[in-house]
Amino acid sequence: MPKIKKSRKSTTSDSDSGPEDRNPPPSKKAKEVTTSSAKKDTGGGGDGSTTWTLEKLRQVRINEFRGRKMVDIREHYEKNGEILPGKKGISLSIQQWKKLLELADEITQAVEK
């Protein structure tokens, strides 16, 4: 018996179009430009700097993510003479940062035991 081919109706509905209907993510190149513009390293303090070095390539930065300020403690790496943030690290919201500061004395006492 011969096979009967069913013809598919073409639809103009965009509901099943998949990833095409979403906005593409911003390129990494654009992200690097925005993060590298805040590289004032004067050792910290109230002079408006946004990067503090803890040890070699371990740094603390104030970043903005989705409109929120974050305290970013992260290991960095060097590529083509440029310091870039690595995967190892943590970003704390301002609320989490303040809570950590409240607990700092208690944590210090536990470490010194």
Give the pLDDT confidence of 1-21 residue by residue, as tens digits.
667 766 665 555 555 555 555
Cα separation, 78 vs 84, in Å, equals 6
CATH assignment of the domain containing 52: 2.30.31.10
Q: How far apart are the first and last CA of the chain?
A: 85
The verdict on residue 17 lying in a domain is no
In the chain, the number of structural domains is 1
The verdict on residue 19 lying in a domain is no
The verdict on residue 9 lying in a domain is no
**Cβ–Cβ under 8 Å, residues 112 and 92:** no
pLDDT digits (tens, 9 = 90+) for 54-100: 999 999 999 898 999 999 999 999 999 998 989 999 999 999 999 99
Tell me the residue range of the domain where 100 lies.
28-112
pTM of the predicted protein model: 0.53
The verdict on residue 86 lying in a domain is yes
User: Which has the closest alpha carbon to 85: 70, 98, 99?
Assistant: 70
Phi, psi angle pair for 56, to nearest 5°: 45, -105
The verdict on residue 2 lying in a domain is no
The verdict on residue 108 lying in a domain is yes
